[in-house]
A and B are shown apart, each in its own frame.
Chain A
Amino acid sequence: MSEPVSRVAPTVGATGPAPRAASGRMLVSAVLLLAAGVAVPWLVGSQLMLTLMTQAVIYAILATAIGFLIRQNGLTSFGHAAFFGLAVYLLALNGKFDLVPAEVAVLAAIALPAALAFAAGLVIVRLPPLAFSMITLAVAQSLHELMLRWRELANGDDGMPVRLPSTLFGFGVELFQSPSTMFVVCWCALVLVVLALAALSRSHFGVLTVAIRENEERARYIGYQTLVPRAVVFAISGAIGGLAGVLFALYNAFATPGALHWSLSGEALIMAVIGGAKAVWGPPLGAMVFFVVKDAVGDLTEHWPAIIGATLIVVTVMLPHGLSGLVERIVRRLKDNRP
């Protein structure tokens, strides 16, 4: 009954000839990337450049969170800044009111967005994609307005400092505020997040959530409960957004309502789309491209967002799987042409 078809696209949960070899390759790549990240501060002399790169890596983590949600749930969040900003403000408010040790606050700033995402996910992941996107946007903007207007709590538009103790997890706090060391911390966090998500996407849970994304009804009729796995994906995505917020708060030691603003969610989403969400490493790639364009074109013209917009249009129209999809296609072609 079967007919030969064109070369297949890369699939989720691909077994391939040797999944173990793929895992080994992944691990080797991660070690090399970690080593490369450690070497960057020695190779890049400019502190300004390192500051920019550190910010880029933090936003790359946020974009990775959005990409994971798109990849596993097929849902687009327009309000992921809610998790990012929530973590930032949790650390800032903990510093202001001295509620719990800073280490506990750091962990809570990751766990709380995850818990909120899970609870909200049980309700909103069932909604049509557009309604889901709108609700995430509305929640994030509500939090933004809350922090903007509740001056007694968060000092409104003026923002508030993130007061930290002199040591955190046994490290001097200056480690988190110097671009040369914080870049390494953020880079390691990004690599580990990408590695963990890649492993997760190959696991039973990863395959199941993609199956639910593809055909929720069929997943139910082969016996699976479909709501909780989708809410868990949203929770993991929220936790990663919270992690990005923690790193941002530690590095900048300052919280403003901008950390909750829709424009931050939008930028992170653009990064994920440009990089492509089908590959776990697509959104970080998109973040790098975003910051390179912003930096390079920003020196020439103040209208750099127009270039980003044009890039987004070109990628959306011509590269449905983003730049990572293009890279994968080129690599596949090179492999095919190898004698």
Chain B
Amino acid sequence: MTGLALEGVGLTRRYGGFAALDNVALQLAPGEIRGLIGPNGAGKSTLMDVLCGRGGPTAGRVVFNGNDITGLSAQARRRAGLARSFQKTNIFPDLEVRKQVELAARMAEIDNTDEVLDVLGLSELGGRRAADIAYGDQRRLDLALALVGRPSVLLLDEPAAGLSIKESLVLARLLKDLATSWKVTVLLVEHDMEVIFTVSDRITVLNLGKVLAEGSCEEIRANTEVVRAYLGSSFE
């Protein structure tokens, strides 16, 4: 046992001669919210894919709660408590909101459908077809599908994409609360720096498939390489 919730060891993902991930190491402590940032093409989504089982690494290992899960399917990882949400809203459009959360709960050890619907403000929409609810609600439904069953680790790929500033900040507060009260470890990919710097305990910066920097929010803000490569002068 490493005492870590999730660990990526020497993760490499190659597409022919191109390395989307190049020997990336990542260590997430239990209950931590880790921001993962970087310019487009830095390898953030590839890293999420490798961690959740969407695509295996060319080299390296994924260790979840002390167990090597590199060879496990995405389904098995979810059942073990590693959940993810997606960059694009990924729900079941023709199913009622409540039905799909119940469906997800059935595969989890804990059926906390009501709790998740309540926490995400979806209770009143339970009987509505997912395709008929507003975009912001669909994003929260996507999150609900990942959260149901209280997974121990949650990989969130741009959960605030397409949300208004107000909605993004509500989401950020929600994530912070969940990490504290449910003790969920979160790896958060997000382009909205306000969200990232509001909720993250630590931040990892990827650039060209490699870890450029890792540290607290203050350390990342002060890192000149990160500012030059990604954040821009407004953060200096």
Contact = CB atoms under 8 A, between A and B. Distances in A.
A332 to B, nearest CB: 14
B129 A11 contact: yes
A223 B127 contact: no
A328 to B, nearest CB: 14
Contacts of B103: 204, 207-208, 211, 222
A152 interface: no
Contact of A223 (B79, B92, B98, B132): B79
Majority DSSP secondary structure for residues of A touching B: loop
A222 B95 contact: no
Contact of A12 (B74, B75, B95): B95
B136 A223 contact: no
A204 B125 CA distance: 20
A204 B107 CA distance: 12
B140 A1 contact: yes
A211 B145 contact: no
Given A1-B140, A2-B136, A8-B132, A223 B104 contact: yes
A198 B209 CA distance: 51
Given A8-B129, A14-B96, A204 B136 contact: no
Nearest to B52: A221
B137 A223 contact: no
B121 interface: yes
A68 to B, nearest CB: 16
Interface stretch (B83-91, B192-200, B224-232): B83-91
A223 B125 CA distance: 24
Contacts of B95: 11-13, 207, 210-211, 214
Contacts of A3: 134
Interface residues of B, number: 42
B99 interface: yes
B137 A218 contact: no
A220 interface: yes
Contacts of A220: 73-75, 78
B129 A225 contact: no
Given A15-B127, A208-B103, A218 B121 contact: no
A75 B104 CA distance: 24
Contact of B78 (A16, A208, A214, A223): A223
B221 interface: no
Contacts of A5: 128, 132-134
In this complex, which of B52, B79, B132, B146 has the most chain A Cβ atoms within 10 angstroms of its Cβ? B132
A9 B133 contact: no
Interface in A200-252: 204, 207-208, 210-211, 214-215, 217-225
Given A2-B125, A210-B94, A211-B92, 8 more contacts: A11-B94, A15-B96, A15-B127, A16-B127, A211-B95, A211-B100, A217-B90, A218-B145
Interface of A: 1-3, 5-6, 8-9, 11-16, 204, 207-208, 210-211, 214-215, 217-225
- Nearest 8 CB-CB pairings of A with B: A223-B107, A1-B136, A223-B78, A222-B104, A214-B92, A3-B134, A13-B99, A11-B129
23 contacts: A2-B136, A5-B128, A6-B132, A11-B96, A11-B99, A13-B96, A15-B98, A16-B127, A204-B103, A207-B99, A208-B103, A211-B92, A214-B93, A215-B90, A215-B92, A218-B91, A221-B52, A221-B78, A221-B86, A222-B83, A222-B103, A222-B148, A223-B75
